Chains A and B, each alone.
Chain A
Amino acid sequence: MIDRFQAAAEAAGAVVGRFPTLAEAARHVRETTGGPVAASELPDAVRKALADLRFASPQEYRDVRFGLSFATAGVAATGSLLLELSDPAGRGATALPPVNLVFLTASTIVPDLQSLSGTLYRLLASHPSSYLSLTTGPSRTADIERVLTIGVHGPKELHILILEGE
């Protein structure tokens, strides 16, 4: 399932890395980003693992190079990530920076979109309002001469960090 997810995500233009532990994934994030990071809601454990990272304020998102988020689930058939982005600032963190890093726990990968419908249904019903985003690869366009061009208004790069041991 993880292999299928990785193949589909890579076919969609994402960069996929697999990490045995959160600590190793966190180290990779630190090494990649260096500077400040725009982050959407992250689980406490992730925040803790990245405690030494500087998190940017939403006002800075326009100029920040890296966005960081944590996926609720992955879809193997299409290499998609399900992101819960009900907080507008968190949404901005995945939409404005040119490079997005997303954690994905391997055990949350499901085979296809249909098998995600229960989760989607639950998430849509559980809060008074919600914003769910299925993200597949970086932002893209083919609006000029149908030439595929990666990175228009959204991220130009999408890095998926699969946590295999968690």
Chain B
Amino acid sequence: MSRKIIHQKINDAFLRRALGNFAAQYPAARARAFEGEDFEALRERISAARKESLRILPEMVQRFTEHAERTGAVVHLCADAAAARDTILEIVRQKGADLLVKSKSMTSEEIRLNHHLEKAGVRCLETDLGEWIIQLAGERPSHMVMPAIHKNRDEVAALFSRETERHCAPDIPALVEVARETLRDGFLSAKVGLSGANVAVADSGAIGLVTNEGNARLVTTLPRTHIALIGIEKIVPSLAEALDIVSMLPKNATGQKITSYVSFIRGPSGDGRELHLVLLDNGRSELARHPRFQEALKCLKCGACANVCPVYETVGGHVFGHIYVGGIGLVLTPFFHGDRNARDILGLCIGCRRCNEVCAAKIDIEGLILDLRERGKKLPAQKPLMGTFMRNRTLFHAALRAAYLAQKPFQGRDGRIRHLPLVLGCDTGNRSLPPIAARPFRDLARERVAAKPLVPGERGRVLFFSGCLADFVYPELCRDVMESLEKLGYAVVFPQEQLCCGIPARYSGETGIARDMARLNTEALLAERADHVVTICPTCTMSLKRDFPELLLGDPGRHARALELAGKVVNFSELAARSIVEIEAPGEGAAVTYHDACHLRRGCGVFQEPRAVLERIAGRPVREMDGHDGCCGFGGSYAFKYPEISYEILKRKLDSIAASGADTVAVDCPGCRMQIEGGLDGAGSSVRVEHTATLVAERLRGE
């Protein structure tokens, strides 16, 4: 994605305000819509039903076809986009029509129907207000449910004025009235109408439409021929599954309990009317057979993944997506619109996993994006260099030491780096960077003496896996971790053979390197007897716990060992929380605010433990900030690859921190610490950022 377009979207004040307001309102509206409902149970049912239908997709198509044909509908199964377009064109021509009125259909966007029909001399008229606006503007939807969210009333008024050849004031109710009056003629005169379908029911041949404006009812009622364009993954076995989807869609899409209209249409309405059901395959059958990526077809197109995405909120759907937008748009694009269109956008995901949390069909959107990166383009020089450095501990560490010397000219008086020369190809983007430490923790660890436990009796033996950032940038944090755990009664060892967890390789699509890191680290960490392996970076935790066993699936022996290791891995706060009973903080220190690291909260499901540890061991009351679980914009190399986006996301976090009034931010991730610390320093703030382990160590040292 070109920096110029990103820059342009970031500086589009209206877009930013529109997306920002929506992002701020959506979570509460969604929560209200789901009041009294069990979202997890509902999405679990939807996910399971979708999975089963995908497994027997050809049979589902056949069952739907049989039942639909019994109602008198004509079913057209189209293998690809061109076949679907030709079929629709043929029907329109048979009816002697030169106008097609349409209600909203993302599937018609997928096959670029309007473009092709217009070339063949058929005028397409979008009647959904948002779709009509972007049709008049010659653009594509920037959101799957709210296609024109990027357009303001002035732009709409100008488009409507041009179309109607009279002055339209930028007054929203008046503009809506213009659409009503102008589009009426289209509804009443068209011989053919086209709709999409939110769901198709196999055992009755019915389709379901979930809409608000009432245009879909006109499109499917006034023209005597109705064409419904349906992706074959939309077929569900029976009405029960359809009702689950109807119940889910509006709540998850826009926070509505139900839309104004939910219609079930079965068969043509008699009187010589025709109903054509155009079933679109377009790669779906093949995708449904893919062991990993079939999951993407569970998507209901509710758009919730965009609604909660911090990157979408920053740049909008014209950057974050292709025709399908948002997190799932990144996933679907390579399959429907080719790797060429996907290549630029797959890197835009920051990996915060908020989309996974809200996905209506429980799709592992973030995981699919990671796996898709592997298929994408790799920089020619990246692989050998990255692999050589990461696999070889001595070389990797020597390189980091060289970097320590190289950074000297750029350090400020306090040691922090505020400007980097352009030749390094990265931009600190209003943030300062901490320097690489003179001596990494792995060197300091050899010399240190264990601290005395504060309570008698050994709680267990712990291996400390520090992660690269803490090792080389925050060695004092590593010291605090070991000291805290020792004082809490653990015997702690820092295994010198530990390597990078492999996440940077996986995020760059270099699975081969990640697999080697999994193998080497598993060996290193199982070489010593231990009850726990403690991490202080939740991204490392996810790598060790979730990715290692997966990466080593091909080798049963190594897979078993990776599972053994995974069983021991625990985040610092989780382990510390187990000592709360013995160690209670005497008295209260100053309040802190807590930032939930994405991979700790959504990756590991850990968010209560650090708060308990802060309050009860470190003696620091937690004063919650707004958006405490929102991403800080770091995302590993993301902050350097897309510094502008990263900084915009960070700004929201900095505002929340300032509003909390706390003088310290606690966090359980060195990456978040670096990002937030850099942002606060850049903004001239005196608020301190510390890992929970450091605040615990301070208290246990009596500071």
Listed in ascending order, the chain A residues whose CB lies under 8 Å from chain B are 12, 62, 77-78, 80, 86-88, 91-92, 94-96, 113-114, 117, 120-121, 124-125, 128-147, 149, 151-155
Contact = CB atoms under 8 A, between A and B. Distances in A.
B316 to A, nearest CB: 14
Contacts of B206: 124, 130
B264 A155 contact: no
B263 A153 contact: no
Contacts of B268: 129
Given A113-B243, A144-B153, A120 B260 contact: no
Given A139-B212, A139-B260, A125 B269 contact: no
B257 interface: yes
Nearest to A158: B260
Given A92-B222, A145-B152, 10 more contacts: A86-B270, A120-B243, A124-B204, A130-B266, A133-B217, A134-B261, A134-B263, A136-B261, A139-B260, A146-B22
Contacts of A62: 184, 188
B556 interface: no
Interface residues on B, range: 35 or more
A133 to B, nearest CB: 5
Nearest to A82: B262
B71 A128 contact: yes
B557 interface: no
B102 to A, nearest CB: 12
B294 interface: no
B585 interface: no
7 contacts: A95-B214, A124-B239, A136-B258, A143-B133, A144-B151, A152-B213, A154-B214
A144 B156 contact: yes
Contacts of B212: 139-141, 152
Given A143-B129, A146-B149, A129 B221 contact: no
B266 A131 contact: yes
B480 interface: no
A95 B172 contact: no
A143 B254 contact: no
B263 A141 contact: no
B72 A129 contact: yes
Given A129-B270, A142-B146, A147-B172, A152 B129 contact: yes
Contact of B259 (A88, A91, A94, A136): A136
Given A129-B269, A141-B129, A135 B247 contact: no
B279 interface: no
B18 A145 contact: yes
Interface string B64-80: 00000011100000000
B180 A153 contact: yes
A129 B71 contact: yes
Nearest to A94: B217
A92 B243 CA distance: 25
Given A113-B247, A141-B129, A143-B147, A133 B271 contact: no
A136 B408 CA distance: 66
Contact of A144 (B148, B215, B217): B148
A91 B220 CA distance: 10
B213 A86 contact: no
B173 interface: yes
A124 B257 contact: no
B387 interface: no
A79 B687 CA distance: 50
Contacts of B129: 141, 143-144, 152
A141 B175 CA distance: 11
Contact of A130 (B149, B257, B267): B267
Nearest to B148: A143
A114 B254 contact: no
B246 interface: yes
A117 B240 contact: yes
B283 to A, nearest CB: 30
Q: Which of A94, A130, A147 has the most CB of B within 10 A?
A: A130
Contacts of A131: 220, 263-266, 269
B621 interface: no
B179 interface: yes
B218 A135 contact: no
Contacts of B82: none
A160 to B, nearest CB: 14
Nearest to B130: A143
B471 interface: no
B21 interface: yes
B366 interface: no
Among A124, A125, A144, the one with the most B-chain Cβ atoms within 10 Å of its Cβ is A144
Contact of B261 (A77, A133, A147): A133
B176 interface: yes
Nearest to A116: B243
B243 A130 contact: no
B221 A152 contact: no
B128 interface: yes
B20 to A, nearest CB: 11
A86 B268 CA distance: 9
B21 to A, nearest CB: 7
A72 to B, nearest CB: 13
B273 interface: yes
B472 to A, nearest CB: 46
A152 B176 contact: yes
Contact of A133 (B149, B151, B262): B262
B127 interface: yes
B183 interface: yes
Query: Which of B22, B214, B265, B269 has the most CB atoms of chain A within a 10 A radius of its CB?
Result: B214
Contact of B176 (A88, A146, A151): A151
B266 A152 contact: no
Given A124-B206, A142-B254, A152-B179, A88 B239 contact: no
B626 to A, nearest CB: 20
